[in-house]
Protein backbone atom coordinates (compact mmCIF):
# COMPACT_ATOMS: atom_id res chain seq x y z
CA UNK A 1 0.00 0.00 0.00
CA UNK A 2 1.42 3.37 -1.07
CA UNK A 3 0.16 6.40 0.86
CA UNK A 4 0.77 10.05 0.03
CA UNK A 5 0.56 12.62 2.84
CA UNK A 6 -0.17 16.01 1.27
CA UNK A 7 0.58 19.01 3.48
CA UNK A 8 1.48 22.63 2.79
CA UNK A 9 4.38 22.61 5.26
CA UNK A 10 6.31 20.34 7.61
CA UNK A 11 8.40 23.26 8.82
CA UNK A 12 9.45 23.38 12.46
CA UNK A 13 7.83 26.81 12.74
CA UNK A 14 4.42 25.23 12.06
CA UNK A 15 4.59 23.47 15.43
CA UNK A 16 2.33 20.57 16.41
CA UNK A 17 0.68 19.74 13.06
CA UNK A 18 4.02 19.39 11.26
CA UNK A 19 5.50 17.19 13.98
CA UNK A 20 2.44 14.96 14.27
CA UNK A 21 2.32 14.36 10.50
CA UNK A 22 6.04 13.53 10.39
CA UNK A 23 5.82 11.22 13.42
CA UNK A 24 2.78 9.44 11.95
CA UNK A 25 4.37 8.95 8.53
CA UNK A 26 7.63 7.67 10.01
CA UNK A 27 5.88 5.13 12.22
CA UNK A 28 3.72 3.94 9.30
CA UNK A 29 6.95 3.39 7.36
CA UNK A 30 8.45 1.44 10.26
CA UNK A 31 5.37 -0.80 10.25
CA UNK A 32 6.00 -1.70 6.61
CA UNK A 33 3.81 0.76 4.70
CA UNK A 34 5.20 2.71 1.74
CA UNK A 35 4.75 6.39 2.53
CA UNK A 36 5.53 9.68 0.85
CA UNK A 37 5.25 13.18 2.33
CA UNK A 38 4.71 15.89 -0.29
CA UNK A 39 5.16 19.42 1.02
CA UNK A 40 6.14 22.88 -0.14
CA UNK A 41 9.78 23.84 0.26
CA UNK A 42 10.48 25.66 3.52
CA UNK A 43 13.58 26.74 5.43
CA UNK A 44 13.50 24.31 8.39
CA UNK A 45 11.48 21.13 7.75
CA UNK A 46 11.32 18.49 10.49
CA UNK A 47 12.87 16.01 8.05
CA UNK A 48 15.58 17.18 5.64
CA UNK A 49 16.28 13.74 4.22
CA UNK A 50 14.46 10.42 4.07
CA UNK A 51 14.40 9.09 7.66
CA UNK A 52 13.48 5.51 6.67
CA UNK A 53 13.74 3.31 3.59
CA UNK A 54 9.92 3.20 3.33
CA UNK A 55 9.42 6.97 3.73
CA UNK A 56 10.20 9.36 0.89
CA UNK A 57 10.19 13.16 1.14
CA UNK A 58 9.33 15.41 -1.75
CA UNK A 59 9.50 19.22 -1.53
CA UNK A 60 7.86 21.17 -4.35
CA UNK A 61 7.88 24.81 -5.41
CA UNK A 62 4.55 26.59 -5.02
CA UNK A 63 4.42 27.92 -8.59
CA UNK A 64 4.74 24.46 -10.17
CA UNK A 65 3.00 22.52 -7.41
CA UNK A 66 -0.14 21.33 -9.24
CA UNK A 67 1.60 20.19 -12.42
CA UNK A 68 4.33 18.36 -10.50
CA UNK A 69 1.82 16.72 -8.15
CA UNK A 70 -0.29 15.60 -11.12
CA UNK A 71 2.72 13.92 -12.73
CA UNK A 72 3.88 12.28 -9.49
CA UNK A 73 0.45 10.77 -8.82
CA UNK A 74 0.15 9.60 -12.44
CA UNK A 75 3.60 7.96 -12.40
CA UNK A 76 3.61 6.43 -8.91
CA UNK A 77 -0.08 5.43 -8.69
CA UNK A 78 -0.62 5.75 -4.91
CA UNK A 79 -3.40 3.70 -3.33
CA UNK A 80 -4.68 6.47 -1.08
CA UNK A 81 -4.14 10.20 -0.60
CA UNK A 82 -4.24 11.89 2.80
CA UNK A 83 -4.52 15.68 2.85
CA UNK A 84 -3.85 17.71 5.99
CA UNK A 85 -5.50 21.10 6.60
CA UNK A 86 -8.14 23.25 4.92
CA UNK A 87 -8.16 26.52 2.96
CA UNK A 88 -4.91 25.34 1.34
CA UNK A 89 -4.63 25.07 -2.42
CA UNK A 90 -2.13 22.20 -2.05
CA UNK A 91 -4.82 19.98 -0.51
CA UNK A 92 -7.43 21.23 -3.00
CA UNK A 93 -5.09 20.30 -5.88
CA UNK A 94 -4.77 16.83 -4.33
CA UNK A 95 -8.57 16.49 -4.30
CA UNK A 96 -8.91 17.63 -7.92
CA UNK A 97 -6.34 15.08 -9.08
CA UNK A 98 -7.85 12.31 -6.93
CA UNK A 99 -11.31 12.84 -8.38
CA UNK A 100 -10.01 12.81 -11.96
CA UNK A 101 -8.11 9.59 -11.35
CA UNK A 102 -10.81 8.01 -9.14
CA UNK A 103 -8.50 7.70 -6.14
CA UNK A 104 -9.82 7.58 -2.56
CA UNK A 105 -8.71 10.44 -0.34
CA UNK A 106 -8.91 11.46 3.31
CA UNK A 107 -8.91 14.99 4.69
CA UNK A 108 -7.74 15.90 8.19
CA UNK A 109 -9.19 19.39 8.89
CA UNK A 110 -6.78 19.93 11.80
CA UNK A 111 -9.30 21.96 13.79
CA UNK A 112 -10.06 24.36 10.96
CA UNK A 113 -13.81 23.63 11.11
CA UNK A 114 -14.13 24.55 14.79
CA UNK A 115 -16.45 27.55 15.44
CA UNK A 116 -13.68 29.91 16.56
CA UNK A 117 -11.53 29.00 13.57
CA UNK A 118 -14.43 29.44 11.11
CA UNK A 119 -15.17 32.89 12.51
CA UNK A 120 -11.55 34.03 12.21
CA UNK A 121 -11.30 35.89 8.86
CA UNK A 122 -14.82 34.59 8.30
CA UNK A 123 -15.67 36.10 4.91
CA UNK A 124 -12.63 34.57 3.20
CA UNK A 125 -13.54 31.14 4.54
CA UNK A 126 -17.17 31.50 3.50
CA UNK A 127 -16.01 32.19 -0.05
CA UNK A 128 -13.64 29.20 0.02
CA UNK A 129 -16.39 26.94 1.36
CA UNK A 130 -18.68 27.98 -1.44
CA UNK A 131 -16.04 27.72 -4.18
CA UNK A 132 -14.42 24.38 -3.32
CA UNK A 133 -13.99 23.42 0.32
CA UNK A 134 -17.48 22.01 0.99
CA UNK A 135 -17.28 19.86 -2.13
CA UNK A 136 -13.77 18.63 -1.30
CA UNK A 137 -14.89 17.52 2.15
CA UNK A 138 -18.19 16.02 1.04
CA UNK A 139 -16.48 13.75 -1.50
CA UNK A 140 -13.77 12.46 0.84
CA UNK A 141 -13.78 8.71 1.52
CA UNK A 142 -13.39 9.67 5.16
CA UNK A 143 -12.78 12.76 7.27
CA UNK A 144 -10.17 12.29 9.97
CA UNK A 145 -10.48 14.13 13.28
CA UNK A 146 -8.28 13.92 16.34
CA UNK A 147 -11.09 14.00 18.91
CA UNK A 148 -14.83 13.32 19.27
CA UNK A 149 -15.43 17.01 19.93
CA UNK A 150 -14.11 17.86 16.46
CA UNK A 151 -16.13 15.03 14.87
CA UNK A 152 -19.35 16.30 16.47
CA UNK A 153 -18.73 19.79 15.11
CA UNK A 154 -18.23 18.43 11.59
CA UNK A 155 -21.50 16.49 11.83
CA UNK A 156 -23.27 19.71 12.86
CA UNK A 157 -22.01 21.31 9.66
CA UNK A 158 -23.92 18.68 7.68
CA UNK A 159 -21.18 16.38 6.40
CA UNK A 160 -22.37 12.78 6.19
CA UNK A 161 -19.09 10.99 5.34
CA UNK A 162 -17.58 8.42 7.65
CA UNK A 163 -15.52 10.23 10.31
CA UNK A 164 -12.51 8.56 11.91
CA UNK A 165 -11.47 9.73 15.38
CA UNK A 166 -7.76 9.01 15.73
CA UNK A 167 -5.60 11.20 18.00
CA UNK A 168 -2.30 12.76 17.07
CA UNK A 169 0.66 10.57 18.00
CA UNK A 170 2.82 11.41 21.01
CA UNK A 171 6.44 10.33 21.05
CA UNK A 172 7.18 8.66 24.39
CA UNK A 173 10.76 9.06 25.65
CA UNK A 174 12.36 6.19 27.55
CA UNK A 175 13.69 8.40 30.31
CA UNK A 176 12.24 11.47 32.01
CA UNK A 177 14.74 13.96 33.40
CA UNK A 178 13.73 16.64 35.90
CA UNK A 179 15.88 19.70 36.43
CA UNK A 180 15.75 21.57 39.73
CA UNK A 181 15.67 25.36 39.52
CA UNK A 182 15.36 28.31 41.84
CA UNK A 183 11.69 28.97 41.03
CA UNK A 184 8.85 26.63 40.08
CA UNK A 185 7.43 27.21 36.63
CA UNK A 186 3.96 27.29 35.14
CA UNK A 187 4.16 27.59 31.34
CA UNK A 188 2.22 28.18 28.17
CA UNK A 189 3.88 26.54 25.15
CA UNK A 190 2.77 27.18 21.59
CA UNK A 191 2.04 29.77 18.96
CA UNK A 192 1.31 33.20 20.42
CA UNK A 193 -2.04 33.88 18.74
CA UNK A 194 -5.47 35.22 19.68
CA UNK A 195 -7.01 31.73 19.55
CA UNK A 196 -4.77 30.64 22.42
CA UNK A 197 -6.42 33.10 24.87
CA UNK A 198 -3.08 34.09 26.39
CA UNK A 199 -4.48 37.43 27.62
CA UNK A 200 -6.81 35.55 29.99
CA UNK A 201 -3.89 33.47 31.26
CA UNK A 202 -1.85 36.61 31.98
CA UNK A 203 -4.78 38.28 33.76
CA UNK A 204 -5.44 35.09 35.74
CA UNK A 205 -1.80 34.94 36.79
CA UNK A 206 -2.02 38.57 37.92
CA UNK A 207 -5.15 37.71 39.90
CA UNK A 208 -3.34 34.91 41.70
CA UNK A 209 -0.88 37.57 42.87
CA UNK A 210 2.86 37.77 43.31
CA UNK A 211 4.22 34.39 44.36
CA UNK A 212 7.91 34.58 45.20
CA UNK A 213 8.79 30.97 44.32
CA UNK A 214 6.72 30.67 41.08
CA UNK A 215 6.96 32.27 37.63
CA UNK A 216 4.91 32.15 34.43
CA UNK A 217 6.84 31.35 31.25
CA UNK A 218 5.37 32.03 27.80
CA UNK A 219 7.17 29.83 25.28
CA UNK A 220 6.54 30.56 21.62
CA UNK A 221 6.38 33.29 19.03
CA UNK A 222 3.80 34.99 16.84
CA UNK A 223 3.08 38.13 14.86
CA UNK A 224 5.20 41.02 16.14
CA UNK A 225 2.27 43.33 16.96
CA UNK A 226 0.44 40.63 18.90
CA UNK A 227 3.51 39.60 20.91
CA UNK A 228 4.14 43.26 21.70
CA UNK A 229 0.54 43.64 22.92
CA UNK A 230 1.09 40.76 25.35
CA UNK A 231 4.26 42.36 26.68
CA UNK A 232 2.42 45.65 27.11
CA UNK A 233 -0.33 43.84 29.04
CA UNK A 234 2.27 42.34 31.39
CA UNK A 235 3.92 45.75 31.87
CA UNK A 236 0.56 47.44 32.46
CA UNK A 237 -0.27 44.93 35.18
CA UNK A 238 3.16 45.58 36.79
CA UNK A 239 4.05 41.89 36.75
CA UNK A 240 7.64 40.86 37.45
CA UNK A 241 7.26 37.06 37.40
CA UNK A 242 6.40 36.59 33.68
CA UNK A 243 9.04 35.45 31.19
CA UNK A 244 8.86 35.53 27.38
CA UNK A 245 11.11 32.66 26.30
CA UNK A 246 10.59 32.95 22.54
CA UNK A 247 10.33 30.06 20.09
CA UNK A 248 12.12 26.88 21.19
CA UNK A 249 12.52 23.61 19.33
CA UNK A 250 14.52 20.40 19.51
CA UNK A 251 17.00 20.06 22.37
CA UNK A 252 16.26 23.59 23.62
CA UNK A 253 12.59 22.74 23.98
CA UNK A 254 13.36 19.42 25.66
CA UNK A 255 15.61 21.11 28.21
CA UNK A 256 12.94 23.72 28.89
CA UNK A 257 10.27 21.02 29.42
CA UNK A 258 12.49 19.42 32.06
CA UNK A 259 12.24 22.60 34.15
CA UNK A 260 8.43 22.85 34.20
CA UNK A 261 6.00 22.02 36.99
CA UNK A 262 2.66 22.80 35.30
CA UNK A 263 1.61 23.49 31.69
CA UNK A 264 -1.43 25.61 30.82
CA UNK A 265 -3.35 25.62 27.52
CA UNK A 266 -6.27 28.11 27.85
CA UNK A 267 -7.25 28.11 24.14
CA UNK A 268 -10.65 29.03 22.77
CA UNK A 269 -10.36 26.11 20.35
CA UNK A 270 -7.96 23.20 19.73
CA UNK A 271 -8.55 20.12 17.63
CA UNK A 272 -5.95 18.29 19.73
CA UNK A 273 -3.28 20.34 21.50
CA UNK A 274 0.03 18.51 21.01
CA UNK A 275 1.62 20.37 23.90
CA UNK A 276 -0.78 18.66 26.33
CA UNK A 277 0.37 15.22 25.23
CA UNK A 278 4.02 16.29 25.26
CA UNK A 279 3.67 17.68 28.79
CA UNK A 280 1.94 14.53 30.08
CA UNK A 281 4.63 12.38 28.46
CA UNK A 282 7.11 14.41 30.51
CA UNK A 283 5.08 13.80 33.70
CA UNK A 284 3.91 17.42 33.91
CA UNK A 285 0.32 18.05 35.10
CA UNK A 286 -1.74 20.18 32.70
CA UNK A 287 -4.47 22.80 33.00
CA UNK A 288 -6.41 22.80 29.71
CA UNK A 289 -9.58 24.62 28.69
CA UNK A 290 -12.79 22.89 27.69
CA UNK A 291 -12.07 24.34 24.23
CA UNK A 292 -9.54 21.51 23.96
CA UNK A 293 -10.46 17.80 23.70
CA UNK A 294 -8.67 16.81 26.91
CA UNK A 295 -11.40 15.54 29.22
CA UNK A 296 -8.93 12.71 29.93
CA UNK A 297 -7.16 15.12 32.28
CA UNK A 298 -10.09 14.76 34.65
CA UNK A 299 -10.73 11.07 33.98
CA UNK A 300 -7.12 10.07 34.65
CA UNK A 301 -6.60 12.66 37.43
CA UNK A 302 -3.53 14.11 35.75
CA UNK A 303 -4.68 17.71 35.39
CA UNK A 304 -7.64 20.07 35.15
CA UNK A 305 -10.15 20.50 32.29
CA UNK A 306 -11.85 23.83 32.99
CA UNK A 307 -13.50 26.91 31.50
CA UNK A 308 -11.05 29.51 30.20
CA UNK A 309 -12.43 32.66 31.78
CA UNK A 310 -10.05 34.65 33.95
CA UNK A 311 -11.74 33.79 37.27
CA UNK A 312 -11.79 30.02 36.64
CA UNK A 313 -8.22 29.99 35.37
CA UNK A 314 -7.05 31.94 38.42
CA UNK A 315 -8.82 29.57 40.83
CA UNK A 316 -7.44 26.51 39.05
CA UNK A 317 -3.89 27.88 38.94
CA UNK A 318 -4.11 28.65 42.64
CA UNK A 319 -5.23 25.09 43.32
CA UNK A 320 -2.44 23.65 41.16
CA UNK A 321 0.40 25.62 42.70
CA UNK A 322 -0.91 24.91 46.20
CA UNK A 323 -0.37 21.17 45.77
CA UNK A 324 2.68 19.60 47.31
CA UNK A 325 5.54 18.49 45.06
CA UNK A 326 4.61 14.88 45.85
CA UNK A 327 0.99 15.41 44.72
CA UNK A 328 2.13 16.99 41.45
CA UNK A 329 4.56 14.13 40.93
CA UNK A 330 1.76 11.55 41.28
CA UNK A 331 -0.40 13.51 38.81
CA UNK A 332 2.50 13.56 36.39
CA UNK A 333 2.99 9.81 36.64
CA UNK A 334 -0.71 9.23 35.90
CA UNK A 335 -0.45 11.54 32.89
CA UNK A 336 2.45 9.60 31.40
CA UNK A 337 0.52 6.35 31.86
CA UNK A 338 -2.43 7.89 29.98
CA UNK A 339 -0.19 8.67 26.99
CA UNK A 340 1.30 5.17 27.02
CA UNK A 341 -2.17 3.59 27.03
CA UNK A 342 -3.85 5.72 24.34
CA UNK A 343 -1.61 8.09 22.39
CA UNK A 344 1.73 6.52 21.43
CA UNK A 345 2.94 6.73 17.83
CA UNK A 346 2.66 2.94 17.54
CA UNK A 347 -1.02 2.90 18.55
CA UNK A 348 -1.95 5.83 16.30
CA UNK A 349 -0.04 4.59 13.23
CA UNK A 350 -1.67 1.15 13.52
CA UNK A 351 -5.14 2.72 13.69
CA UNK A 352 -4.44 4.90 10.65
CA UNK A 353 -3.21 1.92 8.61
CA UNK A 354 -6.39 0.03 9.61
CA UNK A 355 -8.43 3.00 8.38
CA UNK A 356 -6.66 3.00 5.01
CA UNK A 357 -7.18 -0.76 4.62
CA UNK A 358 -10.88 -0.44 5.46
CA UNK A 359 -11.32 2.32 2.86
CA UNK A 360 -9.51 0.28 0.21
CA UNK A 361 -10.78 -3.23 0.97
CA UNK A 362 -13.97 -2.81 2.98
CA UNK A 363 -14.86 -5.35 5.64
CA UNK A 364 -15.74 -4.68 9.26
CA UNK A 365 -15.75 -0.99 10.12
CA UNK A 366 -13.09 -0.04 12.71
CA UNK A 367 -14.46 0.90 16.11
CA UNK A 368 -13.05 4.45 15.79
CA UNK A 369 -15.03 5.19 12.58
CA UNK A 370 -18.46 6.79 12.89
CA UNK A 371 -21.18 7.07 10.24
Q: Rounded to whole angstroms, how far apart are CA atoms 37 and 355?
A: 18
Domains within the chain, CATH numbers bracketed:
2-169+344-370 (3.40.50.2000), 184-342 (3.40.50.2000)
One DSSP character per residue, 164-187 reads EE-PPPBPPPS-------SSEEEE
Q: Rounded to whole angstroms, how far apart are CA atoms 17 and 11?
A: 9
pLDDT score recorded for residue 181: 83
Instruction: Give the pTM.
Output: 0.89
pLDDT score recorded for residue 15: 75
The DSSP output letter for 132 is I
Q: Is 331 exposed, middle or buried (0-12, 13-18, 19+ CB in 10 A)?
A: buried
Nearest to 21 by CA among 71, 96, 91, 78: 91
Taking only the tens of pLDDT, the chain with its 371 residues reads 999 999 999 998 877 788 899 999 999 999 999 999 999 999 999 999 999 999 999 999 999 999 999 999 999 999 999 999 998 899 999 999 999 999 999 999 988 888 888 888 888 888 888 889 999 999 999 999 999 989 999 999 999 999 999 999 998 988 788 887 889 999 999 999 999 999 999 999 999 987 788 999 999 999 999 999 999 999 999 998 999 999 988 889 889 999 999 999 999 988 899 999 999 999 999 999 999 999 999 999 999 999 999 999 999 999 999 999 999 999 999 999 999 999 999 999 999 999 999 999 999 999 999 98
Residue 40 to residues 33, 90, 99, 207, 361: CA-CA distances in angstroms? 23, 9, 22, 44, 31
**Cα 271 versus chain centre, distance:** 7
Amino acid sequence: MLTFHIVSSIDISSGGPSKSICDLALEQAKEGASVQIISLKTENPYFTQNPHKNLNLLFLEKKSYKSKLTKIIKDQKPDILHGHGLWLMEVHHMVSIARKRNLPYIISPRGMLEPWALNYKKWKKQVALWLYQNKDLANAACIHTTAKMEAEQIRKLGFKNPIAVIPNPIEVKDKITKVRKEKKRLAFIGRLHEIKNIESLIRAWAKVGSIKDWELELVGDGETNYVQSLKQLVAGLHMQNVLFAGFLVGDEKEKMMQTLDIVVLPSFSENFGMVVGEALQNEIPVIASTGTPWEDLQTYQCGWWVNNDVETLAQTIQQAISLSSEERLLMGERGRQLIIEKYTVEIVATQMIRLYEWILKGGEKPEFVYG
